[in-house]
Amino acid sequence: MKENIVKSQVMKEKPFALLEARILTSFIRRMTINPAKTLSPFISTGMKVLDYGCGMGFFSLTAASLVGATGKTVCIDINARMLKKLNDRARNAGTSERIETRLLKGDVPLHETDCFDFAFAVAVIHEINGAKETINSIFRSLKPGGRFLLAEPKGHVSKNLFQSIAGLCVSCGFKAVLYPNVSIHNAILFEKPIA
C-alpha cells in the first residue's frame, strides 16, 4: 500500500474519535447497508476506483475485492488515523496490494485527469466546504464514460440539500444516468460524458 498526500482545502479535518469511526465500519452499519450490494453493479475486475472520503474503509475493502488483482482502489480521506486503520484492515483482509491510501491536504483535491473508471462518495459530500471544487475534481479524474456514485444518508441530509449537491454534479458536467436503491440513502449514479 502506498500512502500519498493529496492537496485539498475543501475539507477541514474535524475531531473524529476512533470509537465513532469504528461504528461506521461495524456490523450494525452492515445490517443497514451492504457494501457489496451497493458497489457490485458498478465495479468489475481490473477497474481503477476512487473512494472519496473513505474513512476506515467500510466500502473500500469491498471495492478492492471487486477490482481483483488487476485493479486498484484509491482511498482518500482527511484523517490520517482512519487511513492507518484502513491500511491495517486491508492487510488483514488480504487486499493491501489493491488499495492505495491518500491523505488530503492543501488546495487541490485530486491531481489525476481521465484516470478512474468509477468513483464513489457515500455520506461525505455534505460535509465538505467547497463541495463544487471537490465534485469538479472527481469529474476531471474520471475517464470519459466513467461513473460517479453519489449517496447521502436520508434523514441526516435533507432532500433539498441532496438535490443541491446533485445540481452541483450536473453543473460540473455530470449526467445523471440511474437512481440506484442504496439502503437508507438518496443516491444518483452520474456519468462523465464521452466527448
In the predicted model, is pLDDT for residue 96 greater than 90?
Answer: yes
Determine whether 130 is exposed, middle or buried from the number of CB atoms within 10 Å of its CB (0-12, 13-18, 19+).
middle
CB 151 within 8 A of CB 120: yes
Distance CA 50, CA 89 (A): 18
Amino acid in the structure at residue 68:
G
pLDDT value at position 19? 46
Crossing angle between the packed helical segments 80-93 and 60-67, to the nearest 10 degrees: 40
pLDDT value at position 28? 55
Instruction: Kindly report, residue by residue over 107-143, the tens digit of the pLDDT.
Output: 556 778 899 999 999 999 998 888 999 999 999 999 9
**Residues 6 or more apart in contact with residue 41 via CB below 8 angstroms:** 180
pTM of the model: 0.85
Distance CA 61, CA 59 (A): 6
Where in the chain are the domains? Answer: 3-191
In the predicted model, is pLDDT for residue 13 greater than 50?
Answer: no
DSSP string for 19-71: HHHHHHTSHHHHHH--HHHHHTTT--TT-EEEEET-TTTTTHHHHHHHH-TT-
For 154, the grid coordinates are 436520508
CATH topology of domain 3-191: Rossmann fold (3.40.50)
